[in-house]
A and B are shown apart, each in its own frame.
Chain A
Amino acid sequence: MTRESTPEKLVIGMDVGSTTVKAVVIDPDSKEILWSDYQRHLTKQPEKVMELLDAIQTAFPQRPFEKAGSWRMFLTGSGSGPLAKPTGAKFVQEVNAVSLAVEHLHPDVLSVIELGGQDAKIIMFKQDAKTGSKTPNASMNDKCASGTGATIDKCFLKVNAPPDMVTSLHFDDSKLHHVAAKCGVFAETDIVNLIKSGIPSNEVLCSLADAIVLQNLSVLTRGNTLQARVLLLGGPNTYLPFLQECWRLRIPQTWEERGYKYPKDVPIEELIFVPKDAQYYAALGATIFGLSESADSGVFTGMEGLVRYVTHGRKERLGESAGPPLVRASSEADEFCDLYKIPKFTPAKFEPGQVVRAAIGLDGGSTSSKAVLVDADKNILAKAYQLSEGNPLKDMKQLLAKLRSYVQDQGATLEVIGFGATGYAADVLEDTVLADVNVVETVAHMMSAVHFFGDVDVICDIGGQDIKVLFMKNGDIANFRLSNSCSAGNGMLLQAMADQFGLPVTAYAETAFKAELAPKFSYGCAVFLDTDRVNFQKEGYSKEELLAGLAQVLPKNVWQYVVQIPRLAALGTKYVLQGGTQYNMAAVKAQVDYIKERVPGAEVFVHPHTGEAGAIGAAMETLRVIKRTGKSRFIGMDAAIDLEYWTKNDEETVCHFCPNECKRTFIDAKRPDGSTSRYIAGFSCEKGTVESKDAMIALVAERKKIASQFPNIVDYESKQAFRHFYDPVPMPEAGSPIGDIEVRKGLFGIRRVEIKRPFVRSTEESWKKRKSLRIGIPRVLNIYMTAPWFRTYFEAIGIQKQNVVFSDATTEEMWVEGGKYGSIDPCYPSKVSQAHIHNLLFHHHAPDEKKPLHYIFFPILTHVNSFVSDTMDNASCPIVAGAPDVMKAAFTKEVDFFAERGIEYLDPAVSMMEPVLLARRMFEVFGPRLGITEDENDHACREAWKALTILENDVQDKGRAILETVEAENRVAILLIGRPYHSDPGLNHGIPEEFQVLGYPILSMRSIPKTREYLDRYYKEELANGTIKSPLELNHVWPENYSANSAQKVWAASFAAHHPNVVVLDLSSFKCGHDAPTYGLIDSIIDASKTPYAALHDIDANKPGGSIKIRVKTYAHSLKLHEERLTDSARRKEQLAVALDTKRLELLELKRKQLEGLKQTDSALLRQIEELAAKVKAYQAPPQAPELPKGIVQLGRKREDGTVVRVQAP
């Protein structure tokens, strides 16, 4: 390029993105790029812009910037906003810039997919049929979404990919694993799990690419079809061939599915392509925009303004909005560090020949494993650390070997007195090396903290990924909170931030303490925080300030986001901080400040072995157990280190239970008795835990067997609701007399008069016609509550029972297949409706097999019936109610999928609270379509109500049987509180089953008996003091009970609080707006009554397996203690009954004696004494109750005489 020949006025286009700055200089006449460059700005955007401007100046020496008006500049990109004013440049929004560049360079392109560092954008050019003009329609990713370059970058680091893998990797869809691409934190959690499971890095990367592509195709296209040609832009699309290949695989698949006719003779690489200089499109577009502006727009005013901005301007703007720093003076930091710094651990020294008797605690963590050696006096002798290699036996052997050599190297001998394990490796270690203790992480952490600090109130453990907060009462866990998918990754974020600024994590605190102010971050998930960080960075905050601000947000995330207890003081005053993050003194300082500000007289301790708290807890528990039992079952140090194991990883170990085809590793170890114990690694779902089809069948059979012993009403209800279980009463004969109401309308008055008239039936032909009609109903949302009503209605008007077709229960496969039609991203239960409509359209509609669907019926249920008696309203959630209209839009937008198949989609608005209106609406819809008369319609409605009542009663009967049984046996039943659709196994992720197999019966909210006769006994006090008139009231707890489902959920929590044998499992979906106001309420109710409670909030499409497991185990621990308390309480109540009867007998005897003294007799008194004496005597040698088979709840119904009769489990 010859710079001499360039024209007089040049135009600069600068794209200041989240990671790089791209610049072009163009000739305004030819729009030819004369100069271009792009560089990573390493968060110093203005400085990098200055550098590039200098480079431009050097390249065009004849056109000095100082010469007024010789240059124009147009800026685009998320970081360019503040730079426009200081330079005189004009800001152009980046999507507009890219659109203009694409229109200019590729007039035939109709779709653009741009993945940036933080943003993902899709631009679709729509052609106006009338004018032929193209209008770009763009959509950008939500705040709550990933699918961006940053996620891919992080994944490359996590899988430890070699540098050449970026370009050499090719997309392979044969081995894909589940990765939730919904948001960066979710994706990261899944990726960590895959890596941990030993999935090869290429498979992990391909899975991520696929997830991102599918996420963008299903969400970012807002349900539209990308039209050819498709242009791929942005860093990841440009530099990652495997990502390009993934687009080229998935986009044509959507084209096929949606019947889009694309030119099949053009090679796919040309239809979906990455252009040359793709990185400069936004910068180029900005200049094209500029050229359409008047000549005085965007005139570059030179470097001075920018220099001024960099040196002074930024800071000036920060002043008011910033918060205080972590420390006011460096001396404060020093003092704090002196006080809180974790003391350096000095391992014990041994004398040669000394015999060291100690127990070992081992924590097989997700990314690393730790072991500690603890002597009988509970002194920590030595520690060992090992990065996890995905094989818990190998990790264990290496850790033990390290401990042994530490002792032996000093000439001493190690005698292991016990071995305890915690973490994900605990199960296999219990089985293979016969660990004395297998304890869940939370309990291990608790034991360790109690060991060091005695009677603590709160233990807060912050690891890289998870936050665990345990609330203590009487030396045991009273309650706990764990971070969920949305609040994970906080510790990691601090580390990642240090990395981002090129600092080792050890220098984090030192750097953050230097800040003189700090940006105020809002609490939220790691992705939101990172977005905030980018914004703050753009505002000009320095790295010191950003690090300080991020440290300060950590306690907010812990206490406000995860724990959600604003009044910290209510938890107690003694806090222990542990977990790897406590090595970062900035994080500790923020925590200590936060707690001390809110809790007067708080004592905050940092665990002295913060990283090994779990292992220490396991060791302490081991010491306790061996002391109690007097022996250890551990196979011994040498045997454990020499444990024979062999791994197998070949075609035979591939899991075929789902399309994922996980390549698993079998780790077999020889047990001491010679048998083999198998540990399976490398699977991404629980199906992979079994090695063969037979084993799978056996596992399922075993689970079923256990399940049959422990009733699960939630599961029963979810199936029964959709079955045919009631034969409606046949339609009355034509002419048979019926009662009706005639509406007589006046000008002002309306009178409803009861009349008698003959029943009107439709014609025989119409009855015949209805027999062949098939009606599809999606099995979603509040249909879970109302399905029997609609099924029976249709059956009563003559639709065959097999022709009332419900979509299948939700599965992951169903979602993957049918989840690409929506244009919005609400909660999963709502958006999964599209997969159900898809399931009906593509699977249940089978005209070729003479099984066409004629209608898809998805009623808008504005109101649903509720058992709570004093609600303000019984409205459905707006999203739930509106889903049918959203689905109608999604499936008729580009292509009318219903019309194409000859199906009519019907979504009338109905209210289950207004039976008369409901009947009218049903008739308005089906009268004309199915030829039924209004009388037939009304009869069908009456039958439908009967069916609903039958189901309600059936479920309540079963619920009562469970409740009475657990009460009689001092056991607990778990009440699932959630929304009706949480009965869907695809939405509840089988969590109720996890508890069922542990031996707890599961109750649904519907199954709680609602009769006064049953309930009054639990509400005695409130009924007596007039707080309530009926146990089914709720206003005394929550007056804003407009939402039927929310009101029922809160009432159910309140019922559990009143019933000693009912504990709560609370499920809530991600983004559930209606659950949000109830969180605090339910906490208050549960806290006041001290009911055991486990919550899994923010559940979404992906199943958080690890998180579920730890919750289930910890909750099981609490339930065990609760059952013990129940037994103790029952025993004491029994003692009281005996004492009272004995006492009464004594008093009666006394009275008898007195009467004798007066020479009187009272025959009634004597009879009473006789009866009571027999009763008291019977107490002395009570008959042995027949022992119940251990671990089995046998359902029973309590009779009036107090005996329990067994009944069949559902």
Chain B
Amino acid sequence: MTQATLHTENGRAKTTEVTAKKSLPLASDLDIENELAKFEAEERARLGLDKQEKQWLETMTNAQFSAAERPKITLLIAGLTIAHDFLIEAALKGLGYNVLTLDCPTNEALRFGKEFGNRGQCNPTYFTVGNLVKFLCYLRDEKGMSSEEIVKHYCFVTAGACGPCRFGMYVTEYRKALRDAGFEGFRVILFQQTGGFSQATGDDIGLRMDFPFFTSLTKAVLAGDVINAIGYRLRPYEVEAGATDRAMEVAKKACYEAFTSKKSILFALWKAKDAFAEVKLDRLMPKPKVSIIGEFWAMTTEGDGNYQLQRFLEGEGAEADIQLVAAWLLYMLWESRNDTKNRKMLRGVDFSKYGLAELGTWGIAKREATLWAADILTRIVFQTFAHAGGLYGYHLPDMDKIAHVANDHYNNDLRGGEGHMEVGKLIQNVVMSKAHMTLSVKPFGCMPSAGVSDGVQSLITEKYPGTIFCAVETSGDGRVNFYSRVQMYLFKAKVAAIAELERVCQERGISVDQARAFLEANPRYSAALHKAPHAAAGSAADLVCEIAPLITSTRMERTVKKAKSAASASAKVLRRSPQTLAITATRAASKAQEIAGWLKEDIRTYRATRATA
């Protein structure tokens, strides 16, 4: 028997001794190791030791599609405001892709997210992930497509995770939910928010993440910002309900066409300006200005994810001061700038993610210059779009200032969510009278916002009495409680707005009726796109401050006043000039010396580098 199993022919064991003997190999032919291996396999099977240990492996990463697949693939996008998503769709279509924007996430999306997502996620994750799964289920269950077809013909494109809060890891959730919902292998293509302008390039790459891709996206985002900013500026004061929304639609369509037909966005915005200009406004209504801060997604979405917060505020008689997506871009640039600045003079380099080890001698200056240029460029493009579209007097936040005012309370090195921005913005809103009320909206249990910022904000509200600060969490349900909380603070803000208008009128010596009469006589001040300079928190008070001198004094008096003020300023400059000049000259001299020293060092460094090379 033993001999019978010694060796096999064509995979079949010889079963008789005689046969075995006949086929006994020569000693030199007997492959003991081979025989043993076969025997071991049989034994393992007999003893039940042949089961392979299984280990989990993530197979749905590094998704892409090939250039050949491009015509057959539809890119799905979503995630920002309705205007942004609409324009990003156009921008990508303009680049030659088939694109479809998902609807703004609803409570139904939340339910899908909860069913297929991990427990304990924050609602931006549930809403966004659920929204995608909901759409794919719709394709499968309502449109009759098979899961394989869906996986083959659709991809989802989104910004990559940025850590370190749980929303920063939402891509993990996309994979889990898609897999659990039956869409194993569905491609979620990521571009990194901080990954630069060249992330996926090459001839056979389906979705090329190159310079044109990112510039198109940025233009769409900034154009969307401008349209939204104008909309939120006008809508609360419109005389005819719905006029602003109609103008916004005109603007969005114009930009959409410009993107898809590769025409000038600037021109499209410029054309849209007329539509905005036609909206009739009554800016003397004392409306509380509510600055919306908090977690990025919760304050950006316009659907059930924040209970349509912006519309709710407007419905309650407030003006919503939203944060533009551009501010987020600037914050990310600031982060990188600040991190580089903090490390460049260290006596050594660190090799971790933020360390400057890989930048080398010239790399730091290059990175700083690039980041500075990106910041300036973002601001220039935004302001150009803004002026073309009629958004005048809009100031993008000064990131250094925000960081500076917040740092004592919320360390600038703390990251996640909006970082120190929430605290910085609240302080600015109070100190610089930028809004009557600051509303921080965040998902239930938001780590950076509810778990840290709100803890610090309680100190800020204590330090600045009279601050109206409302922190609210959204969880997808409990809409009534959410609204109730906002109303609680809004009541105070309304009182403050009315009081502010009364105070300003009193201080400037005019009444609201006088102001109204003036505006009727001087329509340029009541024009939709007119922006009174910032003087108070509310728009009505700003306008009163601007027009009061025009009512209470004659042109001659104003001219005299202006001349006097200019003269006094000039006198002051002249008085200080010798001293100032002396200081400037001394500084320049020392700086020149310093700069010369730096240049010399650069030359030395250059020589040293060449010598080493």
Within 8 A of A (CB), among B48-100: 48-49, 53-58, 61
Q: List 28 A-B contacts (CB under 8 A).
A: A78-B481, A135-B465, A142-B473, A523-B114, A532-B477, A538-B480, A560-B114, A742-B347, A745-B598, A746-B598, A747-B595, A748-B362, A750-B344, A823-B454, A823-B458, A872-B353, A878-B416, A878-B452, A881-B415, A881-B416, A882-B448, A907-B411, A914-B350, A917-B346, A917-B355, A1077-B121, A1088-B56, A1150-B6
The residue that B361 contacts in the complex, of A749, A886, A888, with Cβ under 8 A, is A749
Residue of B nearest to A1143 (CB): B39
Interface flag for B488 (CB, 8 Å):
yes
Q: Contacts A885-B409, A885-B411, A1147-B32; is A1089 near B54 (CB within 8 Å)?
A: yes
Interface flag for A751 (CB, 8 Å):
yes
Residue of B nearest to A521 (CB): B477
Inside 8 A of A822's CB, which chain B residues have their CB? 455
The residue that B447 contacts in the complex, of A561, A1021, A1073, A1146, with Cβ under 8 A, is A1073
Q: Contacts A522-B114, A916-B348, A1077-B172; is A882 near B32 (CB within 8 Å)?
A: no
Inside 8 A of B448's CB, which chain A residues have their CB? 878-879, 882
Interface flag for B343 (CB, 8 Å):
yes
The 8 closest A-B pairs by CB, nearest first: A1042-B163, A882-B452, A878-B416, A886-B455, A875-B164, A746-B602, A1076-B120, A823-B458
The residue that B40 contacts in the complex, of A96, A137, A746, A1136, with Cβ under 8 A, is A1136
Interface flag for A741 (CB, 8 Å):
yes
Inside 8 A of B40's CB, which chain A residues have their CB? 1136, 1140
Inside 8 A of B487's CB, which chain A residues have their CB? 91, 93, 96
Q: Are A882 and B451 in contact, with the CB atoms below 8 A?
A: yes
Interface flag for A566 (CB, 8 Å):
yes
Q: In whole angstroms, what is the CA distance A1074 to B118 when docked?
A: 11
18 extra interchain contacts, Cβ-Cβ under 8 A, other than A1040-B172, A1054-B56? A126-B465, A135-B466, A140-B481, A522-B476, A522-B477, A746-B601, A749-B606, A824-B458, A874-B352, A879-B447, A907-B411, A908-B411, A909-B413, A911-B352, A1027-B57, A1076-B166, A1140-B39, A1146-B2
Interface flag for A998 (CB, 8 Å):
no
Q: Contacts A746-B601, A749-B606, A1077-B173; is A81 near B480 (CB within 8 Å)?
A: yes
- Interface digits, B338-368 against A, CB 8 Å rule (1 contact, 0 not)? 0000111111111011110000011011000
- Interface digits, B422-464 against A, CB 8 Å rule (1 contact, 0 not)? 0000000000000000000000111110111011101101100
- Shortest distance in angstroms between B262's beta carbon and chain A's nearest beta carbon? 35
Inside 8 A of B484's CB, which chain A residues have their CB? 78, 93-94, 140
Inside 8 A of B400's CB, which chain A residues have their CB? none
Residue of B nearest to A1128 (CB): B48
Inside 8 A of A1148's CB, which chain B residues have their CB? 32
Q: Are B49 and A916 in contact, with the CB atoms below 8 A?
A: no
Interface flag for B148 (CB, 8 Å):
no
Inside 8 A of A1076's CB, which chain B residues have their CB? 118-122, 166
Inside 8 A of B176's CB, which chain A residues have their CB? 1080-1081
Inside 8 A of B414's CB, which chain A residues have their CB? 860, 862, 878, 881-882, 885, 909
Within 8 A of B (CB), among A552-607: 556, 560-561, 564, 566-567
Q: Are A566 and B601 in contact, with the CB atoms below 8 A?
A: no
Q: Are B116 and A741 in contact, with the CB atoms below 8 A?
A: no
Q: Contacts A746-B601, A873-B163; is A889 near B409 (CB within 8 Å)?
A: yes
Q: In whole angstroms, what is the CA distance A52 to B119 when docked?
A: 45
Q: Are A564 and B166 in contact, with the CB atoms below 8 A?
A: no
Interface flag for B165 (CB, 8 Å):
yes
Interface flag for B613 (CB, 8 Å):
no
Interface residues in A, total, Cβ within 8 A: 142
Q: Are A917 and B605 in contact, with the CB atoms below 8 A?
A: no
Q: In whole angstroms, what is the CA distance A126 to B466 when docked?
A: 8
Q: Are B350 and A916 in contact, with the CB atoms below 8 A?
A: yes
Interface flag for B561 (CB, 8 Å):
no
Interface flag for A920 (CB, 8 Å):
yes
Interface flag for B218 (CB, 8 Å):
no
Inside 8 A of A140's CB, which chain B residues have their CB? 481, 484-485, 488
Q: In whole angstroms, what is the CA distance A456 to B6 when docked?
A: 44
Residue of B nearest to A223 (CB): B458
Within 8 A of B (CB), among A1111-1166: 1129, 1132-1133, 1135-1136, 1139-1140, 1143-1144, 1146-1148, 1150-1151, 1154-1155, 1157-1158, 1160
Within 8 A of A (CB), among B593-613: 595, 598-602, 604-606, 608
Q: Are B347 and A741 in contact, with the CB atoms below 8 A?
A: yes
Interface flag for A1085 (CB, 8 Å):
yes
Q: Are A876 and B164 in contact, with the CB atoms below 8 A?
A: yes
Q: Are A1139 and B43 in contact, with the CB atoms below 8 A?
A: yes
- Interface digits, B101-115 against A, CB 8 Å rule (1 contact, 0 not)? 000000100110011
Q: In whole angstroms, what is the CA distance A556 to B459 when docked?
A: 41
Q: In whole angstroms, what is the CA distance A883 to B451 when docked?
A: 8
Interface flag for B168 (CB, 8 Å):
yes
- Shortest distance in angstroms between A859's beta carbon and chain B's nearest beta carbon? 10
Q: In whole angstroms, what is the CA distance A872 to B55 when docked?
A: 22
Residue of B nearest to A487 (CB): B119
Interface flag for A867 (CB, 8 Å):
no
Among the 9-residue stretches A644-652, A792-800, A890-898, A1191-1199, the one with 4 or more Cβ atoms under 8 Å from chain B is A890-898
Q: In whole angstroms, what is the CA distance A748 to B49 when docked?
A: 65
Interface flag for A520 (CB, 8 Å):
yes
Inside 8 A of B606's CB, which chain A residues have their CB? 749
- Shortest distance in angstroms between A981's beta carbon and chain B's nearest beta carbon? 15
Q: In whole angstroms, what is the CA distance A1075 to B411 when docked?
A: 24
The residue that A129 contacts in the complex, of B162, B168, B465, B473, with Cβ under 8 A, is B465
Interface flag for B478 (CB, 8 Å):
yes
Inside 8 A of B602's CB, which chain A residues have their CB? 746-749
Q: Are B478 and A1077 in contact, with the CB atoms below 8 A?
A: no
Interface flag for A264 (CB, 8 Å):
no
Inside 8 A of B459's CB, which chain A residues have their CB? 888-890, 892-893
The residue that B452 contacts in the complex, of A126, A224, A743, A879, with Cβ under 8 A, is A879
Q: Contacts A143-B473, A879-B452, A1154-B27; is A913 near B352 (CB within 8 Å)?
A: yes
Inside 8 A of B461's CB, which chain A residues have their CB? 137
- Shortest distance in angstroms between A663's beta carbon and chain B's nearest beta carbon? 38
Q: In whole angstroms, what is the CA distance A136 to B116 when docked?
A: 43
Q: Are B169 and A1043 in contact, with the CB atoms below 8 A?
A: yes
Residue of A nearest to B456 (CB): A889
The residue that A522 contacts in the complex, of B111, B122, B347, B416, with Cβ under 8 A, is B111
Q: In whole angstroms, what is the CA distance A221 to B448 when docked?
A: 21
Q: In whole angstroms, what is the CA distance A840 to B47 when docked?
A: 61
Q: Contacts A823-B458, A1043-B164; is A914 near B352 (CB within 8 Å)?
A: yes
Q: Which has the most chain A C-beta neighbours within 10 Å: B346, B415, B451, B473?
A: B451
- Shortest distance in angstroms between B133's beta carbon and chain A's nearest beta carbon? 10
- Shortest distance in angstroms between B558's beta carbon and chain A's nearest beta carbon? 33
- Interface digits, B10-49 against A, CB 8 Å rule (1 contact, 0 not)? 0000000000000010110010100110011001100111
Interface flag for A954 (CB, 8 Å):
no
Residue of A nearest to B62 (CB): A1039
Inside 8 A of B162's CB, which chain A residues have their CB? 1042
Residue of B nearest to A1156 (CB): B27
